[in-house]
């Protein structure tokens, strides 16, 4: 999949141009290999295929010479390799079609390979964020939303925190340099939430107008 498939976007990863006063702080995508392992179960599939191959050799070695017994494991190895290749291909397509964006006002997530959609999460919607970092520097930042905001787990998977189905937590999955991204998010969210919100209310009976700041 090429980025040319999204040439209709006025700004990469966003469905419309940013309003005045908003600017991009960071953009990125999942690492395909890490996404395949963590979200799509690549290691489980590879491990299962290897286990079946060893089992087949063990069973066959009781009745056949070791060379013949080893050949009996070939179908399991081939099937496992094909399954792993398919899973990695799915992860690669998912990663290439995904763009995570941090601006000074929100988290935006363009997700979906076949059915593309963009999630916009203002920092004021996010209660807490949880960082999971791996040894290679990749990791996931999951967002716990506050209020009545609800997202579909199935529609947003795999860009969610695993197994949080009752209240889906959208997540920046398997991104490189996750600690740096988390710092950018924390600074932007803290600044945005600390900004006073000014709202104009209805005029009073005497013709004056009350203005409330939050």
Where do the structural domains in the chain lie, given as residue ranges? 35-93, 122-192
Q: Please, what is the end-to-end C-alpha distance for the chain in angstroms?
A: 45
Kindly state the tokens that stand for 112: 């979906």
Q: What is the pLDDT of residue 7?
A: 54
pLDDT of residue 177: 93
> Cα separation of 53 and 77, whole Å?
6
- CB-based contact 36:91 (threshold 8 Å): yes
Peptide bond into 23 cis (omega under 30): no
pLDDT of residue 211: 39
Q: What is the pLDDT of residue 142?
A: 94
- For residues 17-30, one letter each, b for 16 or more C-beta atoms within 10 angstroms of the residue's C-beta and e for the rest, the string is ebeeeeeeebbbbb
- Enumerate residue ranges in the chain where pLDDT < 50: 1-2, 202-205, 207-214
pLDDT of residue 165: 83
């Amino acid at each position: 999949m090429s980025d040319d498939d999204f040439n209709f976007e006025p700004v990469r990863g966003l469905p419309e141009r940013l309003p005045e006063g908003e600017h991009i702080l960071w953009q990125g995508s999942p690492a395909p290999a890490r996404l395949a392992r963590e979200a799509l179960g690549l290691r489980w599939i590879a491990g299962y295929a290897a286990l079946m191959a060893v089992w087949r050799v063990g069973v066959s070695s009781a009745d056949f010479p070791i060379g013949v017994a080893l050949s009996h494991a070939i179908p399991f190895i081939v099937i496992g390799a094909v399954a792993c290749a398919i899973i990695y291909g799915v992860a690669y397509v998912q990663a290439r079609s995904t763009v995570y964006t941090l601006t000074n006002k929100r988290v935006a997530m363009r997700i979906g390979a076949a059915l593309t959609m963009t999630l916009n999460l203002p920092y004021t919607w996010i209660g807490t964020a949880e960082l999971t970092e791996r040894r290679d520097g990749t990791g996931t930042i999951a967002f716990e939303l506050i209020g009545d905001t609800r997202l579909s787990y199935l529609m947003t998977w795999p860009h969610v925190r695993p197994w949080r189905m009752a209240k889906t937590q959208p997540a920046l999955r398997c991104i490189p340099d996750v600690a740096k991204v988390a710092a950018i998010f924390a600074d932007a969210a803290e600044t945005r939430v600390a900004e006073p919100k000014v709202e104009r209310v209805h005029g009073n009976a005497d013709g004056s107008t009350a203005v409330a700041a939050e």
